[in-house]
Amino acid sequence: MTAQSSFMILSSVKDTKIEELTTLLSSMNSTIPAHADPKNDLLPFGRFPRLHFARFVIIEAHTADEIEAFGIAARPWQPTLAFFGEIDGDIDSFFTELEDLASVGLRKIFALCEKFPKEEENLQQWLKKNNTKSNANYVNWIGRTVKHIHEDDALHQSLAAYLREHKDDIDKNNTLALRQKLLSHVEMEKYAGRLTLTAEEKTPLKWKMFNFIHMIGVPLVLVLLSPLFLIMAPFFFIRLRMLERSDPELFIRPEHSYLEKLTIQEDWSVSNQYNVFGDIKPGVFRLLTLKFILFLVDYFSRHVYKRGFLARIKTIHFARWVLLDDNKRAFFASNYDGSHESYMDDFINKVGWGLNLIFSHAVPYPKTSWLIKQGAYREQQFKYTQRLHQLPTEVWYKAYPDLTNTDLARNSRIRKGVEIRQSSVDEIREWLHLI
Amino acid sequence: MNNENTFKFDDLQALLRFSHGRLTDTCFLLLHVADVRKAKKWLDTAPISNATESDSLPDRALQIAFTVEGLRVMCVAESVIDGFSDEFIMGMSGEESRSRRLGDIGMNAPEKWDWGGESKKIPHLMLMYYAKENAVKDFRTSIETEDFVKAFHVIHELPTLHIGEIEPFGFKDGISQPVIDWECRQSTNAHEREGYSNLVAVGEVVLGYPNEYGLYTARPLIDEREDSVAACLPHAEDKTGLKDLGRNGSYLVVRQLGQDVPGFWQFLYKMSASNFDKCELLAASMVGRRRDGKPLVLKSVAAIPGISTQNCDNHFTYDFDTEGYQCPIGAHVRRANPRTGDLPPRVTGIINRVMKKLGFDQKQEEDLVASTRFHRILRRGRSYGPKLAPAEAIKADAEVAERGLQFMCLSANILRQFEFVQSAWSMSSKFSGLQNESDPLLGNREVLMNGERTDQFNRPSAKGVTEKIYNLPKFVTVKGGAYFFMPGLSAVKYIASLPIKEDT
């Protein structure tokens, strides 16, 4: 199994250069706003076979004044270019590939930033040095590689096409014979070189060991610390309730012109991108709580929610949480299936409690109670707040535009059925239904 | 909860409570205001029907609704308009991104519409006449006085024709409607709402009342001190000291959907190897009901709030048909109302409940559809065009005519209700994990970004492979549409009484 990794390169941009940068970045797009042309000259995303998603965002703090409601002066924020994405395997070799295939383009882009690779500097080293780690990452299906996604999809298409071609001369009720026909079709196609089904790579031993130690170690440490947590709990909740009651609440509806900047990029295909950025509420309490919760989110994503669902949410491909500006601000980005409205409704109605746990520490999240209640369940206010804090994307790349997580999971199951033969008629039928 | 029926219906337009089903002769006029002063004068005394119950059934009804342009023309201040929802302000055809979500692309694109697309074809208001058989003409004469004719200019008349309780394809229509919980009998608290209920909170349909979240949907609230005309408006329940322009009003979505009736039946007849019985079965599986309205799944054993157990045509959910063997998952009515609850079906006990909430204990293809209660709409559509029975429609020489539906629905939040149902459920080719198919009736058959097709229909069968119908033609074409605000009667008075701006 090849695990997925993420990268994020950040560099602040001079105010005078923003327009130039926006124009340069948009030259990477196809005719669709913010959708990358996979073959663009600056960074030909399509030539990176391990790349799932990638994105360029200019992080701007247009909501920075909100923190003044807490009696704190707004901190200055220099607009920052973020280039981030998700890949299969290790980051270092991906940076080398970037250097090989997109050195000129990336240098051109970062030359408009304050931090940039000097001419004599090695790009791979520079990227490595400037890579910002996320506080928490979520991967829909750990181990599902771009290569397999494409192979599985081709397999599915081929089987579906076979059924379509032979729809009049197959006996639909003789499942056993039908499976046999389909399996021979696959063999023929493989032989003809039209289908490839590469065996899964071996899991690197180092990764396996680290993952195991992490899986066991974290709960162990938490159990050891549990008496401490128990003692702290009453103080924690008293402080929490005090803050929940006293935190100022802002009810700001986003301007229509701002919404338009976001919606113009959305719903061109089955998936969308999402960035949200804002201040963390002041004080050590909020910061530590958030950090601890993100630590848990990361743990659960890695060890529990690693096979197609994050609690009841099945639509997220990848997500990341990153604390920025000396832990004063937080950035969240995700790639999800469906429209923005359905994404938000899914969240509120299925995992509103989870949203509250994480995002209630940000300004100006709707009032929560006991960390998980209310908050996102204040639907309209929540929707306004998240839209107001959402940032448009400059360039977005998805390696498999028409496929949702459900499609990917289905294709994997189809493939599994080709590789491991089902024993019962029911299982065969279930497999046939997938095609 | 308040058990008494104290709901005041006298400020609501009747359409919110009644569908005027007995009043079969209808006329929907799309108007532009020609003379604001005269328009206001007419509006002030217009006999708009309210929602109170009378002893005898009325033989006439008049309803009215405004687009945002209409409100502007009638001098509603921009600061007040800002209080309406973004969808209403921008309009159905106002933004490309909206058209994409609604599936209004290709042949459905607003620039091809008969009305509501280009800005000069967007009406200011819509007047809806309902009368008994052949009586609408007289009704119109009584309303459209000389002053009316000077005040308004008819830009389009939406055709309607009563062809029985059916829609043009021949299926019984309007069977499933949400029941508005006027007496607030049902809790909106998620802890008490696991399964599907057909009762919806008043605030899901009428503005100014708590919705399914127990909250008030945003709407224009006016400070009386700044706008004395607002004195005639009801108070805002949730904000003391403010007047509520939205209260007792609702958003009305209108879409003219052209239906190719011969095209539909002839295609299905061909796919059924010219066997009419098979053709009927195929049609029923696409619609999700038989022509007489009988559902394809068995009657639900468990009670469904808001639906009588006697009501065999509506007392069902899809909880025991997760595979779609009885009713295909992509069937039209299953998409439009998947009858899901807040939690996945068959929760047993506390532990199981927690497990389900945390996402465990279910298959990959389960729990993909949102909870239905936040996405209900109250339908008020009417059909148009001459009746064509399926047995006639399958013939190659079937009479071709303009036929279709004036789709109309009421909701308090266009984005969360109508647009969600239309985009995430009806038009989405990925609804509930399906592949290559959008709504078999409504689908625009446009390919996805990378060329993936959406023109199939999958009919799963318990016996063998899924039966797939390929190359579905387009049966429905959008011909027009707009978002309206259907004000409460005090709000109508407010709009009529607002002073005319100098420049008009």
Cα B201–chain centre separation: 16
More confident residue, A131 or B501: A131
DSSP A70-86: GT-PPPP---EEEEEEE
Contact call for A380 and B415, based on CB within 8 A: no
Looking at residue A131, its amino acid is N
Size of interface A-B (CB pairs under 8 A): 135
Q: What pLDDT is stored for residue B3 in this prediction?
A: 41
Q: What pLDDT is stored for residue B503 in this prediction?
A: 56
Q: CA A134, A137, A139: angle at the middle one, nearest 5?
A: 150
Chain A environment of B424 (Cβ under 8 Å)? 338-339, 341-342
- Residue A6 phi, psi (nearest 5): -130, 155
Q: Does B491 score more than 70 pLDDT?
A: yes
Domain residues of chain A, as ranges? 4-123+130-143+203-398, 146-200+404-434
Chain A environment of B459 (Cβ under 8 Å)? none
Contact call for A342 and B423, based on CB within 8 A: yes
Question: Residue A99's CB: how many other CB atoms inside 10 A?
Answer: 18
Q: What pLDDT is stored for residue A351 in this prediction?
A: 93
Chain A environment of B428 (Cβ under 8 Å)? 270, 338
Chain A environment of B95 (Cβ under 8 Å)? 260, 263
Supply the DSSP symbol for B421: I
Return the residue in B97, B272, B329, B357 with the most chain A beta carbons within 10 A, the one to mutate for interface testing.
Answer: B97
Q: What pLDDT is stored for residue B5 in this prediction?
A: 58
Q: Does B346 score more than 90 pLDDT?
A: no
Summarize the confidence of residues B423-438 as an average pLDDT: 95
Supply the DSSP symbol for B64: E
Instruction: With beta carbons less than 8 A apart as the criterion, state whether B195 and B339 touch.
Output: no
Find the range with the poorest average confidence among A228-232, A287-291, B268-272, B500-504.
B500-504
Cα B231–chain centre separation: 32
Q: Identify the residue whose tokens are 């006991």.
A: A370
Per-residue pLDDT band for B504 (boundaries 50, 70, 90) equals: very low
Instruction: With beta carbons less than 8 A apart as the criterion, state whether A4 and A140 touch.
Output: no
Q: What pLDDT is stored for residue A425 in this prediction?
A: 87
Q: Identify the residue whose tokens are 């304050």.
A: A114
Q: Which of B96, B368, B424 minimises the CB distance to A339? A: B424
Question: B253 has which bridge partners?
Answer: B409, B483
Rounded to whole angstroms, the maximal C-alpha distance in chain A is 76
Instruction: With beta carbons less than 8 A apart as the criterion, state whether A342 and B420 touch.
Output: yes
Q: What pLDDT is stored for residue B502 in this prediction?
A: 65
> For B67-97, how does the pLDDT look when each residue is reduced to its tens digit (9 = 90+)?
999 999 999 999 999 999 999 999 999 999 9
Cα A406–chain centre separation: 16
For residue A164, give the H/E element and its range.
helix A146-165
> For A133-183, how does the pLDDT look when each residue is reduced to its tens digit (9 = 90+)?
999 999 999 999 999 999 999 999 999 999 999 988 888 778 889 999 999
Summarize the confidence of residues A240-266 as an average pLDDT: 93
Q: Which of A264, A345, A378 minimises the CB distance to B97? A: A264
Q: Identify the residue whose tokens are 């239904």.
A: A433
Question: A81 has which bridge partners?
Answer: A11, A58
| Residue A263 in tokens | 């919606």
Q: Does B36 score more than 60 pLDDT?
A: yes
Q: Does B4 score more than 80 pLDDT?
A: no
> For B187-235, how does the pLDDT look when each residue is reduced to its tens digit (9 = 90+)?
888 778 888 999 999 999 999 999 999 999 999 999 999 999 999 999 9
> For B227-260, how does the pLDDT look when each residue is reduced to its tens digit (9 = 90+)?
999 999 999 999 999 999 999 999 999 999 999 9
Q: What pLDDT is stored for residue A431 in this prediction?
A: 92
Q: What is the ipTM of this complex?
A: 0.94
> For A316-367, how does the pLDDT look when each residue is reduced to its tens digit (9 = 90+)?
999 999 999 999 999 999 999 999 998 898 899 999 999 999 999 999 899 9
Q: CA B313, B318, B321: angle at the middle one, nearest 5?
A: 120
Question: Residue A231's CB: how many other CB atoms inside 10 A?
Answer: 10
Contact call for B374 and A263, based on CB within 8 A: no
Q: Identify the residue whose tokens are 């209660």.
A: B373
> For B387-424, how does the pLDDT look when each residue is reduced to its tens digit (9 = 90+)?
999 999 999 999 999 999 999 999 999 999 999 999 99
Distance (Å, rounded) from C-alpha A10 to C-alpha B192?
47
DSSP B76-97: --HHHHTTS-HHHHH-TTS-HH
Q: CA A316, A318, A323: angle at the middle one, nearest 5?
A: 115
Summarize the confidence of residues B422-433 as an average pLDDT: 95
Distance (Å, rounded) from C-alpha A106 to C-alpha A113?
11
| Residue A58 in tokens | 């200019």
Question: B64 has which bridge partners?
Answer: B127
Contact call for A378 and B215, based on CB within 8 A: yes
> For B300-333, how does the pLDDT look when each residue is reduced to its tens digit (9 = 90+)?
999 999 999 999 899 999 999 999 999 999 999 9
Work out whether strand A4-12 and strand A368-369 pair parallel, antiparallel, or are unpaired.
Answer: unpaired
Distance (Å, rounded) from C-alpha A104 to C-alpha A121?
13
Summarize the confidence of residues B40-61 as an average pLDDT: 94
Per-residue pLDDT band for B169 (boundaries 50, 70, 90) equals: very high
* Burial category of B229 from C-beta neighbours within 10 Å (exposed 0-12, middle 13-18, buried 19 and up): middle
Distance (Å, rounded) from C-alpha A355 to C-alpha A362?
11
